[in-house]
Chains A and B, each alone.
Chain A
Amino acid sequence: MAIVETRDVQKLFGDVRAVDGVNLATNEGEFLVLLGPSGCGKTTLLRMIAGLEQPSSGDIIIGGQVVTALPPRARKIAMVFQSYALYPHMTVGKNIAFPLKAQGTPREEQQKRVQRSASMLGIGHLLHRKPRELSGGERQRVALARALVREPAVFLLDEPLSNLDAKLRTSARDELQQFQRQVATTTIYVTHDQVEAMGLGHRIAVMDSGRVRQLGTPQEVYHDPADTFVATFLGSPPMNLIEKPEYSLGFRPENFLPREVYAKDGHLFALPCRVTRLEYLGSDRLVYGVTEGKLEGHRVISKLPSNISVFMQPGERHEFALPEKELKFFDPRTGLRAAPRAL
């Protein structure tokens, strides 16, 4: 178990700033998720922590030791690749034993530990198969078992669930979380899927174009976004953003509901809209509209749970409102969070 820290880590590929000055520190035994859109530098950052890529500047610290100059094998890490990277010429058993063999563990000890980690992941019966004879989910578990067997100080996972189908992904997510809480090993997990990030992480580092925009618990990044990027990257549909010259105003679609849903009293901010389109999503209804009144002419979305049966149709004008405390203000120039102001 160890704390992973990056200090001013930069990585340039020619002119591309893949990672642009990242400062992060995990907690002991934490599940930290790196979340961001495609190409924002998540994989590059993870590979630098693993030692597969040299930072252009800055340092990586694992367990209090600067490891920037150390090769991957000296860092006491285990990594699960997006492709799983199982050795195709070896059986599952040999795959799992590989890290032990590489560090010269005695044979009986190898056997015992392979058995233990395989049974922990429920793949004890697959030890004699070759990787090509496994399903995607089984491969993922083999990759996890191989990462686990050496009892590393840190787990690094790069989108390990992205090759699974939707249903399997949900159950694998569940297993992965249980597994991590059980072994309590510091884990850094890369994904571009916000549902995965919210569901798995103790904390989430939201990244964009090589920088960490916000580091916080799922609640913090969702309810208290540090800037407009985080605000609009998280949530589905994302936060409504009304950009004025003096300020930008953000609010979540699920808080933006028809006026009549809220009690008469309470501090509400009212915003009339012309409904342009309705989308029925089963558990929710999405209402697309254009604001009217003093904040006229902005596109907004309202997300109505299916138990709210207010009738609406396109072309109609409707009173919408939201609790004042759900309004988030941003600086229109920098995009950073700003103090609330009177409207």
Chain B
Amino acid sequence: MAAEGGAMKRGARRAGHAGLIGFFVIFSAFPFYWMLITTFKSTPDLLKRGNNPFLLNAPPTLEHLKVLFYDTLFGQWIWNTLLVGVVVVAITLLLAVPAGYALARVMGPAGEKLGIAIFLTYLVPPTLLFIPMSRIIGDLGLQDSLWSLVLVYPSFTIPFSTWLLMGFFKAIPKDLEEAAMIDGLSRFGAFVKVVIPISVAGILTTVIFTLTLVMQEFVYALTFITAARSFTVSVGVPTFLVHGDVYFWGSLMAGCFISSVPVALLYNFFVDRFVVGFTMGAVKG
């Protein structure tokens, strides 16, 4: 009897697990599914009431993709976004890695507070900042140039990344750096040869977060840039695919899908790295 009860309990627990996991899978996969089928739905199918919105009710069409790629500058926008993204990531790492390390190790107890203060600047909304910023961009003659974004984006990616990296560096046992210093390296050498390789997970996380922040940024991109050739995806897609109250849903969703899948893949690819206790085995047993 007892054994049977145990088996039933175990079964119930397993079903509960499966249910929970299923829920989250649907929850996170649904937006992608929605974008994907909308991309291939013909417009009448999309707009007709009474159709099952979750399925293709008419044969799929490539019309929306054609609009996206031939009637807008989508390819150019992707390229712009990528360019800005890569340069901003490089600038961010160049400044945030040393800053995070300094806050974690060199500053002592003040570092923690300073780190939080730096993070707080990330919370100042761009809707406030774009007004003074646009003056600066104007004075520098960078209107309509992607360089305006390259200049402004680090103002929020660096605080965020510094704070993130500070946490990662703090988690690295001090002993490791000290051992490296005794083994013949300078403090900087120990940082480059020991701390950075151990923090790959943290640095990858920073890269992905920075990329995501850049890709979704809207306010600055909208205000600083008016030439369609210099748009980023986040501005170009809604500007060109929403005419008044007419939404080109198919092309909109296609644009979203194409720009979000690489990020999703990147996340998935490195998820192990994010989660794994990478310093395990370095200290103690």
A136 interface residue (CB < 8 Å to B): yes
Closest to B179 in A: A85
Closest to A98 in B: B183
A269 interface residue (CB < 8 Å to B): no
Known: A81-B178, A83-B175. A88 touches B281 (CB 8 A): yes
B176 contacts across to A, CB distance below 8 A: 85, 87-88
A130 touches B184 (CB 8 A): no
Among B187, B281, B284, the most chain A Cβ lie within 10 Å of the Cβ of B281
A78 interface residue (CB < 8 Å to B): yes
A99 touches B184 (CB 8 A): yes
A181 interface residue (CB < 8 Å to B): no
Report the number of A-B residue pairs with Cβ-Cβ less than 8 Å.
Answer: 85
B197 interface residue (CB < 8 Å to A): yes
B285 touches A139 (CB 8 A): yes
Selected contact of A131 from candidates B180, B183, B187, B282, CB within 8 Å:
B282
Task: Please tell me which stretch of A22-30, A69-77, A296-304 contacts chain B, meaning at least 4 of its Cβ atoms lie within 8 angstroms of it.
Answer: A69-77
Q: How far is the CA of A132 from the CA of B198 in the complex (A)?
A: 14
A342 interface residue (CB < 8 Å to B): no
B280 interface residue (CB < 8 Å to A): yes
B282 touches A72 (CB 8 A): no
Selected contact of A73 from candidates B185, B281, B284, CB within 8 Å:
B185
Mark each residue of chain A from 82 to 105: 1 if its CB lies under 8 Å from any CB of chain B, else 0: 011111110000000011001100
Selected contact of A130 from candidates B175, B178, B194, B281, CB within 8 Å:
B281
Interface residues of B (CB under 8 A from A): 173, 175-176, 178-187, 189, 194, 197-198, 278-285
A163 touches B285 (CB 8 A): yes
A89 touches B175 (CB 8 A): no
A312 interface residue (CB < 8 Å to B): no
The minimal Cβ–Cβ distance linking B135 to chain A, given in whole angstroms, is 47
The minimal Cβ–Cβ distance linking A167 to chain B, given in whole angstroms, is 14
A99 contacts across to B, CB distance below 8 A: 183-184
B280 touches A102 (CB 8 A): no
B283 touches A83 (CB 8 A): yes
A146 touches B183 (CB 8 A): yes
A102 touches B189 (CB 8 A): yes
The minimal Cβ–Cβ distance linking A84 to chain B, given in whole angstroms, is 7
In addition to A72-B181, A73-B181, 10 A-B residue pairs with Cβ atoms within 8 Å of each other are: A51-B181, A72-B182, A78-B183, A83-B282, A85-B179, A88-B198, A88-B278, A132-B280, A132-B282, A163-B285
